[in-house]
Structure formats: C-alpha cells, structure tokens
Structure 1
C-alpha cells in the first residue's frame, strides 16, 4: 500500500469551503445513443418494471450511484455504483432501448443575502486550512527525506555485501561480463548494477546476425513478431520483437527481465537473452520446435494430439503455473493463460511462455487492481466486475484451456460475435457439434450439462474415435469446471489443480451454484429470447454466493516443493 497523499485532506477541506454558498445540485449528462455499460450484462437490474423518472430518482437517493442506465424495451433500471468500469458500443439490434446518464454534481453560486455569512466562514476556515496544509507538507517532506536516507544506506550496504551486476556477454559461452551502460544515456548512475546469472544482453547487430536479418518468421501477436534464430554455439532460439513500447517503459522492461530471467523451471520457457537499444525491445527465448499448443490442437487436418499427450500437456502446464504462483519470491500472475502461450517441443516438453502481461505480487499482497488484460474467451469474471486480480484469475483461464484440450476445439463457435470469448478461425466445426441438440455453441455450458448428466465420454474430441480413458476425461472435465467457479475464492489453487490432474490429491466436485456466470453466459448464445432466463439465472446466482463461499472455502493451498514442481 502506498503512503496516503497529503493532497487528499486538502481537497476535502476545499470541498467544504466551496460548498458554503448553498446545497449542491444534481444533474445528469446523457451518454447518447449506442453506448451501454458492460457490467450490466452480468448484473441484475436495480429496479424492474419502472420508468426513466423513477430510475433517476433511485439514483438520486443513492449516494454511491454514479449514473444510471434505463432499458425502455425491458423497463429495467441499472445503477453504476462506486466506480465506473467499461463502456461498450451497441448496435441497433441489441442496444436500441438502452440509454445512459452520468450523475454530475454542481454547487450554485451564493446568493447576495448570504455573501456576508460566507465571508465570515471563509475568514474562519482559511487560516485553518493554510495551517493544516503547512503541517502536511512539512510532515511529508520530513518522512520523504528519512525514507530516502534509509534507502541510500541500505543500497550502500547491499553494494558492499554482494557484487550485483547486469551481465552483458558477447556470446552465451563467454565468461566475461561488462557493466551495463546507462540505458537513457544520462549520468544518474543507477543502471550500473550487476546481477550474476541473468540472461545475456545482446546488441542489435548480434540479434540481426542470429536471425539472419529477421528472415524466418515463426509467429506473431499483439506484441509484435517472433523470428527463428541461432546462437554462436549452434543452439536455436526464438526472438520476440516487441513493438509499440516507448522509452518510458524502459526500466519496467529491464525489471521484468530481471525477475523472469531468474526463474528456472522445467515447465517455464527459458529466457536466453534480451536487447534494448534505443527504441528496440527484443527478448530471446529457447526454441520450442513444435510451436504453440493451438496449432496441433485446433488444426482441421494433420496428425492429432493423442489423449495421453493431452493429459501430459495439462499436467505440465499446471505445474508451470503453480510454480509461478507459489515457487517464486514474488508471486507472478500470468494474466494470459491460453493455448497460444503453451509451447511444445519434442520429448514431451511443455512450457508456459509470454510473460508480457504478467503482474507481480509481493508476499504481503493477496491481490491487486489493474487494467483489463488477457484474451477474450479466457478472461475471468473478476476482470469484468472491477474486483481484485489474484492467482485464481490464471486458474479460470487454465480451466478454459482444459476444456479445449478435452474437446479439441475452441470453446465457442466462430460465428458468435458478442460476449467475452475468442473467435476461432481454426476449429471450423471439425470436432463435431458442441451440443447434442445443436442449440448451444458454448462448450463450457455443454460440459456442465454433460457433467450433471454423467455423460463425460460424449465431451471428448470425436476425432479421437474413442481413443480416450473415460476416467481421465471425467477427471479433466471436473477439474476444469472447478477452475471456472465464478467466485475466485471458490476455485482451487494451481497447486491443487496439478495434484488433482496427477491423481495425487482428492478430486473436487464442481458446484452448480458456483457456475452461475458460466451458465448465464452460455445461455446467452441462444439469442435475445433468452434474456429473461439470463436475468433469472444471475439473480439466483447472486443469492447463492454466500452459501458457495462457505461450502467451497476448504481447498488446500499448499503442496511440498517436490509435489508442486516435479523435475527441475
């Protein structure tokens, strides 16, 4: 937690001073047509069967209300409370009746009759405010000075006790190291720090040489492109060329390298080196010759991933994520768990990759608030509700990946355009229908219904033609559904997930009342006629949340290092 800002009490006092002239008035700013509030898709209306005036009156009576949204087609009133989240553009078919208004507070001018009393109050309050501000400023200056001296003292002591330096090697086999020159070409001196064991720092000329001037492109994403390269010792590497990063993020980029570069685990891709020259940002990873999981899993033709290999991939990925969450000094939340970020290589190697969106938690932190990040289709509900992000956010994304491993296709069909899933361009329906009735195209809901009916064999990839182990299909589906519980506190940790997949821990049972968000979202694929069913399901899920918290809070959260990591 950061130190409280000394400006906040000042703003509160100035607010008192500015409101002396009279009561504040409330007005509403219209958002216009085509704008809706994203969280309304997952929250019940605050009032049903109402008109716009009563909806506004309800917002007026609620001090935490920041605005309201009124749906004239369903006569429903939604309130935006505490803090505003994401807005979305709507089209004529799904948002024609929705109108939004943001509350605006204003203070009227003081009337001439009250001007004399206002001047008296100002004369009383102004000296108090000035004295208070002076005390706060002086106190903040003293505290800041002491903290700075303490940090300098600790830094000098640390520099005497260990030789810390960011190493820059001319080649992976070279033992010579050089101090890192100042990244910003200034004389602040704080970059002359050496940390033994970090990845090699390459020059851009060396990067161009190892990639043969970026000749072989092996992948691309929102971050940029990935190229195949070869080091001087003959080992193959994958060079990620990051684009769109300004100089402001240079030190954060180096910090990420320092943290990830010290992580070593059999199920995490190894960072071999990096390059930062001017505006260039490049990362050099070990080469995984089979590419990412999505290629063999979703391709319409070619060799299939056999069932045993899918189980091994699930266990390996679970171990890697568990190590990120529990095996490091700082817990690392990956924030983008999906098949594209699980790499495969010969010999059954499975490694988690792409830490560009990762967030770090200190041992004292249980969660953090941050901007939405990740990929549609794998985003946990807490991203949509402005709640804290924890390691259980990765658990939700892993549950989605488990279901795709079972079924061999993306969890939602490519023709569906709204919602939070990712469109699939590679499934093409080759794995068969997602639903026995053809009504539902959202596989997580199909898996939930199959679990409730005990029909696990029907959920397996039909292209395998029965070459599966029934008990293992059941185990993977149950673990996946436990990972998809709406409340993050009711999801198992990744350490427990790995243990359940390996069969070393008791298999948990998914709770239907904890999957209301999943059921609600899946039924939304049936069309607008299901609107009332969606609302009823969400309301029912909210009323059951307390019971769910009580019944599912018993997940064990600790495993020994050997159980957690496997081979290193």
Structure 2
C-alpha cells in the first residue's frame, strides 16, 4: 500500500517542479533562482518574470532572430520592444543561464563561465523586482534598493527614468553589441557623438527651447515631452514639448539618430528626431558617401569616387588611389607619412558634419599650408578650406559621409587625402589609365619577363649564400650548443609572433644606436623594419636560468594578447645567447614625461582618455584573458602614449599568471615604492586588487600633475577654491603626501584645490571629484573594498555611479602623512628622510620601529624589483 502512495507523491512533486521551472513569476523572484531561454522557451518567448500588470517582462531572448545569440532583456510587452539589455557584448546560447544569488545577478554561458554580473553590493540581496515602469531592482531585507537597471541605461530610457550628467546612451548594432554612436548628457546640453566627434546638440534643434541658464543635472521624458532639468528637477533648462502620452520612450537608434516615440496601439509613433536632417548623421551614406537631402535622402559618390565593395561600403577613389586609415586605427598608419600622398578635390557646395562643431586648426593660411598640416599628421584624413577666412578644418581619425550644402556653395572646398598606388604619377594622370597604356613601350613588354627571371635567380643565390653564412655564424657563436632541444622547441609555440634573426634587428636599430629606455632586464632601442614600421626593440641582458623562463613566459603569453590599450608584441629573437623582444613604437613616450615634464600641460580631457585607456587595459588583463594577468608594477613609467594620448600599458609580460588558488602563494615583492599596495608587506594574498591600488595612485598623480611624494611649494596647496588658480604666497616648501591631502579635501568637498594649477581653471570641480573619488576607492587598505577594473571603467565612463570612499579604510594614509611631516621638519637630507619613512629598513638600537604597513609607500618612485 505504501508503494502505491509513493508513486502519486513523486508524480505530484515532478508536476510542481515542471510548473516552477517553466512558469513565469510576477513582480518578484528570490535568490538561488536560475533561468535559461531553453528552460522558459514555452512561456512568452523565454520570459521568467513580469511586472505586476504585465506591462514589462524580463526574458532571455534572441532579439535578432537570425543569429543564435541570447541576452537578458527587459521588454515592453505590448510592442515587443527591448528597453534594456544586460550582456550586450557577451551573448549566450539558449542553454546559458541567468542566476540570482545573495550577491546579485550574474549571467553565465552554457559551460558555466561568467559573462556579466551586477557590481559588488553593500548588503545581501533578498529579492529581484520588476516594477511597472520597467525598472529591474535588487532589494535588500528592508526593501531598500541595492542596484537598478535604470542606473545603467543601454540605448533607451522610459518615463520615470533619469539620465544624469556624465552618463550616456549608446547605440546597438545588428548583432546587439554596443555601437559607435553615443548620446551624452553634459551640464549644459544633450550631445550626439560618433567615435568622439560631435554631430548634433539638442540646444541647436529648432524644436528645442532653452528656458534657463541653470546647470543641467539630468535628462528625462514624461507625458508632456523631453526635458533637461536642473536644481533637483525643479528648473527646466531645455525642453521639447510634445503631445500628451502615457507611454513614451527616448532611444538612440542604431542609425545614429536620437528619437522620442509614443505608443499608438501596438506600434511606436516617432514624435521627435535629431538630427532632423538625415544627412547630418555621420555615416548615413558610408565612408565618403555623398548625401543629398530630400523627402528621403539619397546617397551617391562624389566626382572621382565610385561605390566600394559590400565589405568596405561607402565610396572609394577611382584610379590607382586608396583611402588612408588613421594611425589610431588598426591599420598601420605609417603609410600616411610616405611622400606618395595626394588630395582629391571635392566640388563646391559640399560640407562635413564635424565642421559645425569644431574649430579650424589654423586661421588665415593658404591652401598649401592647410594641406601640409594634414600631410604631416597621420591622424588627418582630409581637409576643408574656407577661402574667405583662410580657415583650415581637418578631418581626423575616421571619415564619415559628405553632404550637399547650400551655405557652403561658393566658399568651402573639401579635399580627401589619398594614397597613391604603384604609379608615382599625380591624380590627373591617373584619371585615364588607358592613356598610359598607349605610351607604354612595346620593347618593355618583351624584356621585362626576362629581366624579372634573371633578377629572381640572382636574388635566390644571394639569399642562399646569406643563409649559409648565417648558419656558420650561429655555430661559431655556439648557438646550437647553448640551447637544449627542449629550449628550441619551446620557442616554436603555436601562435607566437614573428621570429626575427639577430642580424635583422641589428640592421633595424642601426647597430642599436638610438637608446630610448632602460631597466633592470635590459635596454630598449628604436628601430625601423624593412617595411618602414617603427618599432621598439628590447634587448634582454644578464639572462640567467630564471631569465630564460621569464622570456619564454613573456612571448608565450603576450604574443597572443591583442587589446587597444596594451602595447603589442610584434616579434622576438632567440638566437644564440641573444634574447630580444620587438614591440610597437609609442611615439609620445611614457606618461611620466608628459605629466611631470616641462612640455605642454596635459589637458583634462587628455588625462581622462589616459585614465580610461589604462583602466580598460588593466580590466582586460584581469578578466579578458584566458589566464588572469596581474601587472604588479602599474605606474606612469609603464603607461606609454601614442598619438592623441592613446594610453597603452607596457611591461606586463613578466607578470605572474595567477589562478585564484595560486595567488596566495605569490609572495615575492615586486613593483615600485609609492605605488605598492599594503598587502605586499602584510603577507596577504596578491590579487588583481593590487593593480587597482597602484592605478588609484596613478589617478591621483593625473589629478595633480605631480608625483604623490614630491616636495611642493606652499602656493601649490593654496589654490583658490573657486577657480583653482595660484595663491600669491610662496613662503616655502614642504614634503607633502598628496593622497592624504586628497583625502582631506574630499572630506571638505574642496576638489578644485587638488587640480593641477597649470590647467588654470580649465577643469570643473565635478570632473576632479570623479577622479578623486574613484582614486580613493582604489586605495582602500582592505583589497576587498577596492572596486574591480571593470567597475572602475564604468565609473570613469559615467555608466556606473561613483563609489563612496570608506574613510575608515583610508585612515592608514594619515599615518603615512605623519611620516612625511616629520621628514619635512627634520630636513636632514634623503638619508635622514629614509630613516623616518622606512624605520623598519634603517632601524638602529635607538630607533623606534613602527608598523611597516603604515610606512611602506611613501618613498618616491624607487624600484623594489627593478624597472623592466
């Protein structure tokens, strides 16, 4: 009888399990919940949670339909419109999962690898709520908000949602990844940008009205229209009034147009669009495509251009010309500096979207001077020249579409830079290639094949002879005797970069003539490869057994690492006892030269770009590689700069590759004093949070333009709070620990006093506050309180709210500052200062030894492990 009762019970449990796993929940779900598209495929297309009245749903769906990519989305049910997406750049399969735990929401692929998660939260999660406005909210046990999707917008905002200053919407590509367009909210306007180039401002739109000059705090939409608001939402700064609607969205379309729409039945009706003229959108007709405005814009190609292939799109030059790529792009830009550059003239009456929003690089110059400016700049891809004023506008980094303009009819001339093909003749000669073939000598058609044959034979003998000579030289140097067969095999790891002969690098560096840097592992020389590529050649010296291991690790790891903010390893040499690494050349040198040197001061936007680039590079090392890479020596000397101050991290190849289990075993101190995290001297586990600490110290130096431990003139600490200018007093100098000074100014809200005085008011208190708050969060004494680098990138970009520094975890800075004060008062030279700051190193029977964790970091940049 018991067995008969057991069977129905199991069946009921099974039915309940099916219902729970496949049914949608209303309003709330609770921790230890997981969902996949496959699990909920029969329930409203993957929906697992709906708002109270069913207006919105949360689902794991494939919005593109044509691609097997799934995303966690919030969807407006009636119109089936996605208003928010979690894992935009990291799709999962139908079996990938969304997990809700006490730590937050995470998304993992079918193998369980995490691809997205909410940031660290201040308390455990008790529930996940989807409300009737479409906001996904993590709640604590008191129903307080821990995290909201409204604070992390993607390409859309809805009624009830605020887009604060410093945040932005980003467009979505067809594969649902983040696109190249952004809508940015500044303190005075809403601005559309394409790859950093402005092409529209709300205040310039004919449908927008400016009501006041108050500072903008956020953008929102409501039943009456679109608004930029200030004074805690009590003052309208700019507004677009629209007809009344209870449901409205504002969206940055994939095309680059910003739209506001209201719901009409099950469809969205567009009420506002910016730019109103499609031809003002940067890439509406592709690269160098010509847009003509009409009821519906039309695309064509300018004279001397024709339509490109489906892959390239846009328009390309006719004849033996090609369009250049900026040296900031993935294409090598050194070709732009060759003499074979020409300019293809556009007709009168054409203009470019960026000209309205950018200033000329030069006024009152002639056309030749304007072209020369562009020819000498590999980021310049074309010019527009205004005859009446002699104004020279340059088109930089990326080329968008051209448009027909009535206002530019008789005054503005455009020229697109072009690379001359194999023929050295000028553009006019290349217009008609048939003319050249008519004049080509018939005898050449006969002689050229024979000449080419004999040339190839001679070249073959030459290469054969050189190879024999090279092999003899290697044997003479003991090449095959110095390496075991295992060592040789180690250098033939699949995926390694190009292997160079030592003689090649001797020629490239002119026998190692131009020294551009040196460190504990060797010297770095400037070189030029046969294809004219400029490189930095690092010559490894004092190579012991450990050195060989480091070298093999470096080329094996970084040879397969490719990221825009990491210095690229182009090749290596392992010949005889020689070990060399060939890197891409960074023409602006290291950050310390630009930041602390006597040259032009770095502007605030340049500092922001450098900070963001460095943060993105570290984030990739920590979480974007197959193995976690911890740099262990983040400092300005290891941040290299290219054109437009693009930051790239160097010297990460000799870092340890750590798993979570291995990190606690890594105890050998390495790095640079002044940037070392406390855990180095407290025998704590070394993790990626060690790099976070060092990055915070670099961020503070970016704020002040000085070393954190530099002796400062007294006026440097008395900047006026209103404008950041200098005080007239200069009564003396003091050894000041800047991180402590930054902490004190943060506590008092006096951020402008921390800014580099050379900026002379060209930075706002809010901009400095962002850097300082992020930096102080990075230098918390407890590693667990420091944010990870992905979170730091989000805070610097504005997509993640700024963290609140934990003052208790920053108290150790006060002990360090006390040591600096004592050292400044004693004034007995560097040796005496070292005794005060490093008592545990210089202790004597009469010296009081203090806790090393309080004093490890205030000596200026001296190496612990040696520079690399």
Residue 491 of structure 1 corresponds to 786
Residue 229 of structure 1 corresponds to 527
Residue 359 of structure 1 corresponds to 656
Q: Which SS does the other structure have where 2:716 is aligned?
A: coil
The answer as to 2:547 corresponding to 1:249 is yes
Could you report, residue by residue, the CA deviation over 1:280-325 in whole angstroms, capped at 9, with x for unpaired residues? 22111000100000001001x2211111100110011000000000
How far did residue 363 of structure 1 move? 5.8
The answer as to 2:694 corresponding to 1:411 is no
Q: Which SS does the other structure have where 1:361 is aligned?
A: coil
How far did residue 260 of structure 1 move? 1.0
Could you report, residue by residue, the CA deviation over 1:434-474 in whole angstroms, capped at 9, with x for unpaired residues? 57896661100000000001000110000111111321110
Residue 762 of structure 2 corresponds to 467
Q: Which SS does the other structure have where 2:652 is aligned?
A: coil
Residue 502 of structure 1 corresponds to 797
Q: Which SS does the other structure have where 1:291 is aligned?
A: coil
Could you report, residue by residue, the CA deviation over 1:139-198 in whole angstroms, capped at 9, with x for unpaired residues? xxxxxxxxxxxxxxxxxxxxxxxxxxxxxxx9xxxxxxxxxx979533458716744432
Structure having greater relative contact order (Cα 8 Å, sep ≥ 6): 1
Q: CA distance change for structure 1 residues 494 and 400 in 2, over 3 Å: closer, same or farther?
A: same
Residue 741 of structure 2 corresponds to 446
Aligned partner (choices 606, 612, 620) of residue 323 of structure 1: 620
Residue 812 of structure 2 corresponds to 517
In 2, distance between residues paired with 1:517 and 1:182?
A: 55
In 1, distance between residues paired with 2:752 and 2:791?
A: 24
In 2, distance between residues paired with 1:356 and 1:322?
A: 15
Residue 504 of structure 2 corresponds to 206
Q: CA distance change for structure 1 residues 183 and 353 in 2, over 3 Å: closer, same or farther?
A: farther
Aligned partner (choices 577, 599, 607) of residue 302 of structure 1: 599
For structure 2, the 5+ residue unaligned runs are 1-462, 464-478, 720-731, 827-835, 840-849, 855-868
In 1, distance between residues paired with 2:519 and 2:488?
A: 33
Q: Which SS does the other structure have where 2:657 is aligned?
A: strand
* Residues matched between the structures, number: 342
Residue 633 of structure 2 corresponds to 336
In 2, distance between residues paired with 1:189 and 1:182?
A: 10
The aligned runs of 1:29-428 (5 Å cut-off) are: 184-188=482-486, 191=489, 194-299=492-597, 301-362=598-659, 365=662, 367-413=664-710
Residue 716 of structure 2 corresponds to 433
Q: CA distance change for structure 1 residues 376 and 182 in 2, over 3 Å: closer, same or farther?
A: same
How far did residue 335 of structure 1 move? 0.4
Q: TM-score, normalised by structure 2?
A: 0.37
How far did residue 350 of structure 1 move? 1.2
How far did residue 389 of structure 1 move? 0.5
How far did residue 516 of structure 1 move? 2.1
Q: Is the 8 A contact 2:554 2:654 kept in 1?
A: no
In 2, distance between residues paired with 1:382 and 1:205?
A: 45
Could you report, residue by residue, the CA deviation over 1:226-268 in whole angstroms, capped at 9, with x for unpaired residues? 1100111111000112222214532441122111111000000
**Considering only aligned residues, what root-mean-square deviation do their CA atoms show, in Å?**
2.8
In 1, distance between residues paired with 2:622 and 2:715?
A: 36
Q: Which SS does the other structure have where 2:513 is aligned?
A: coil
Q: Is the 8 A contact 1:440 1:446 kept in 2?
A: no
Q: Is the 8 A contact 2:714 2:733 kept in 1?
A: no
Residue 177 of structure 1 corresponds to none
Q: Is the 8 A contact 1:484 1:518 kept in 2?
A: no
Q: Is the 8 A contact 1:431 1:462 kept in 2?
A: no
Q: CA distance change for structure 1 residues 434 and 340 in 2, over 3 Å: closer, same or farther?
A: farther
Q: CA distance change for structure 1 residues 463 and 183 in 2, over 3 Å: closer, same or farther?
A: farther
Residue 861 of structure 2 corresponds to none
- The structure in which a higher percent of residues are strand is 2
For structure 1, the 5+ residue unaligned runs are 1-169, 171-180, 415-428, 543-568
In 1, distance between residues paired with 2:758 and 2:663?
A: 42
Q: Is the 8 A contact 1:434 1:441 kept in 2?
A: no
